[in-house]
Amino acid sequence: MSAGVRGALFLLALGSVVGLVVAIVAVAAGASLCGAGEADLGCYELTRTLAIRTGVVAGLAVVIMGALVAGLLRMLSQGERNAAERARERFLASREARSEE
Report the run of H or E that residue 14 belongs to, with start and end. helix 3-31
> What are the tens digits of pLDDT across the range 52-77?
999 999 999 999 999 999 888 888 88
Angle (nearest 5°) at CA 56 between 15 and 70: 30
User: In this structure, what is the dihedral angle of CA atoms 85, 90, 95, 96, given to the nearest 10 degrees?
Assistant: 100
CB 70, CB 3: distance < 8 Å: no
3/37 Cα distance (integer angstroms): 53
Q: How confident is the model at residue 35 (pLDDT cuts 50, 70, 90)?
A: confident
Which comes out higher in pLDDT, residue 53 or 100?
A: 53
User: In this structure, what is the dihedral angle of CA atoms 48, 53, 57, 62, given to the nearest 10 degrees?
Assistant: 40
